[in-house]
């Protein structure tokens, strides 16, 4: 798989060079900034403040561009997209401070902001980002975004669920992946599919994923045994040809947006499973980093995320749905370091 084989100069969480983020100063301070400034009309984000951040961002791109021609193109792209980020900063004033202190000193944070809340915004969890033109590249460890990728509890929970999924996906023959996004479970850490043996069917309604997917897998996904439907799980559930077909179904980063109808979501996924098949999904647990995502990074979705406040309640709820559906909750595993996510494994 093409670009994901690129060599990356980075380090791991356990490295002496890893300086963890401070909860108080990295997360809480910016959340408080949003809350305080929203409450006080005279502290609204001013035109001058926004323009200053624009300048700082341009200075960083200018200082790190390889030549003038590159910077001229980058500047044009930044100016085109600036109104969106300006609106985000007005609505989430904590973002202005975060931009000034961190985000504007990165080549990857600004494009990441533009990707939120889409599936492409998950890339940094795997140390890849989109540059200002949308090209997927490894995030260098010299960019401040790298430490954020390494230490952010939500990104850590994304890597955790991905690693968990890979263990089971590897031995699946017919797999269905709902909310596939950029399919990190198929490439992160060097995992490679055997298209002669495994067939992967994916559902995700975001057609904007097509182009970045072709950067990762090439133009023909079928060469990798992947059939990608750019439609939502509703279509998969309604299509009788998909029922009872899969020995493995996964849906990562989806259920927390559908807590109200979790039972029907699980019923649909289980319907896709063949007898003896495995279903894996996750729920996001309430942590400060999620509040930061909402109040600083402007992470808003049409169907809002509802993180669970207690694992015990989530497990009770999932267990009772499983009982009603006649399936077995085999295991649930909590991301051990920050406890930002829990993964469930169910068998039919
Ligand atoms: C948080 S991302 C998770 C992506 C990927 N599973 C991962 O773990 O990196 C959520 C994904 O759900 C997709 N999505 C949103 N609504 C959906 C639906 N109704 N059916 C399937 N996927 C959906 C989004 O387009 C997005 O790619």
Quote the pLDDT of residue 36.
Answer: 96
Task: Give CA–CA dist 85/114, Å, rounded.
Answer: 7
Q: What is the per-residue pLDDT across 23-69, written as a single tens digit (0 to 9) for each?
A: 888 899 999 999 999 999 899 999 999 999 999 999 999 999 999 99
Q: What is the per-residue pLDDT across 242-289, written as a single tens digit (0 to 9) for each?
A: 999 999 999 999 999 999 999 999 999 999 999 999 999 999 999 999
What are the start-end ranges of the E strands in the chain?
A: 128-130, 136-138, 174-178, 199-203, 226-229, 246-251, 273-284, 328-334, 341-347
Instruction: Look up tokens 């001013």; give the residue.
Output: 46
Arithmetic mean of pLDDT, 334-347: 96
Whether the pLDDT of residue 156 is over 60: the answer is: yes
Quote the pLDDT of residue 7.
Answer: 57
Whether the pLDDT of residue 147 is over 60: the answer is: yes
Whether the pLDDT of residue 194 is over 90: the answer is: no
Q: Residue 319: pLDDT band by 50, 70, 90 thresholds?
A: very high
Task: Give CA–CA dist 146/140, Å, rounded.
Answer: 7
203 lines ligand 1 (CB under 6 A): yes
As a whole number, the mean pLDDT across the chain is 94
Task: Give CA–CA dist 150/156, Å, rounded.
Answer: 7
233 lines ligand 1 (CB under 6 A): yes
Please report the atom of ligand 1 found closest to the CA of residue 178. Answer: 21
188 lines ligand 1 (CB under 6 A): no
Q: What is the per-residue pLDDT across 74-116, written as a single tens digit (0 to 9) for each?
A: 999 999 999 999 999 999 999 999 999 999 999 999 999 999 9
Quote the pLDDT of residue 195.
Answer: 75
Arithmetic mean of pLDDT, 328-339: 96
308-340: buried (b, 16+ CB within 10 Å) or exposed (e) per residue? beeeeebbeebeebbeebebebeebebbeebeb
Tokens of 338: 């920050």
Give me the percent of the chain exceeding a pLDDT of 70. Answer: 98
CA pseudo-torsion sign 264, 267, 268, 269: positive
Alpha helices in 152-224 (DSSP H): 153-169, 210-217
Quote the pLDDT of residue 220.
Answer: 93
273 lines ligand 1 (CB under 6 A): no
123 lines ligand 1 (CB under 6 A): no
**Coil, strand, or helix at residue 302?**
coil
Arithmetic mean of pLDDT, 189-196: 77
Q: Residue 4: pLDDT band by 50, 70, 90 thresholds?
A: low
132 lines ligand 1 (CB under 6 A): no
Residue 255, CA atoms < 13 Å, CB-side half-sphere: 26
Residue 16, CA atoms < 13 Å, CB-side half-sphere: 0
Residue 187 in contact with residue 127, Cβ under 8 Å?
no
Domains observed in the chain: 13-151 (no CATH), 154-347 (3.40.50.150)
Q: Residue 1: pLDDT band by 50, 70, 90 thresholds?
A: low
Q: How far, in Å, from the CA of 50 to the mean position of ligand 1?
A: 32
Q: How far, in Å, from the CA of 70 to the mean position of ligand 1?
A: 33
Quote the pLDDT of residue 6.
Answer: 54
Please report the atom of ligand 1 found closest to the CA of residue 179. Answer: 22
185-210: buried (b, 16+ CB within 10 Å) or exposed (e) per residue? bbbbeebebeeeebbbbbbbeeeebe
154 lines ligand 1 (CB under 6 A): no
Residue 314 in contact with residue 303, Cβ under 8 Å?
no
Chain-centroid distance, C-alpha 344: 18
């Amino acid at each position: 798989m093409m670009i994901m084989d690129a060599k990356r100069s980075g380090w791991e969480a356990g490295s002496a060079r890893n300086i963890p983020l401070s909860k108080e100063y990295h997360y809480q301070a910016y959340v408080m900034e949003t809350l305080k400034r929203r409450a006080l009309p005279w502290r609204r984000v001013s035109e001058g403040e926004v323009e200053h951040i624009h300048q700082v961002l341009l200075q960083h791109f200018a200082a790190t561009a390889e030549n003038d021609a590159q910077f001229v193109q980058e500047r044009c792209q930044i100016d085109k997209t600036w109104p969106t980020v300006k609106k985000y900063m007005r609505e989430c004033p904590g973002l202005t401070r975060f931009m000034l202190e961190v985000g504007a000193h990165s080549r990857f944070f600004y494009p990441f902001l533009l990707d939120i809340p889409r599936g492409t915004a998950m890339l940094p969890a795997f140390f890849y980002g989109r540059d200002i033109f949308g090209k997927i590249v490894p995030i260098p460890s010299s960019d401040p975004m790298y430490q954020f990728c390494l230490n952010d509890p939500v990104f850590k929970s994304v890597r955790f669920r991905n690693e968990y999924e890979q263990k089971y996906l590897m031995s699946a023959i017919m797999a269905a992946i709902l909310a596939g996004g950029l399919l990190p479970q198929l490439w992160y850490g060097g995992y490679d599919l055997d298209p002669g043996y495994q067939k992967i069917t994916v559902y995700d309604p975001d057609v904007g994923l097509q182009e970045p997917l072709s950067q990762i897998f090439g133009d023909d996904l079928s060469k990798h045994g992947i059939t990608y439907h750019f439609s939502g799980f509703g279509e998969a559930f309604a299509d009788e040809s998909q029922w009872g077909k899969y020995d493995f179904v996964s849906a990562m980063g989806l259920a927390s947006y559908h807590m109200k109808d979790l039972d029907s979501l699980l019923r649909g996924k289980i319907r896709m499973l063949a007898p003896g098949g495995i279903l894996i999904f996750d729920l996001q647990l309430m942590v400060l980093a999620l509040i930061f995502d909402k109040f600083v990074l402007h992470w808003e979705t049409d169907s809002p995320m509802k993180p669970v406040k207690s694992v015990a309640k989530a497990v009770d709820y999932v267990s009772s749905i499983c009982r009603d559906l006649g399936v077995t909750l085999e295991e649930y595993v909590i991301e051990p370091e920050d406890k930002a996510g829990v993964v469930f494994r169910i068998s039919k």
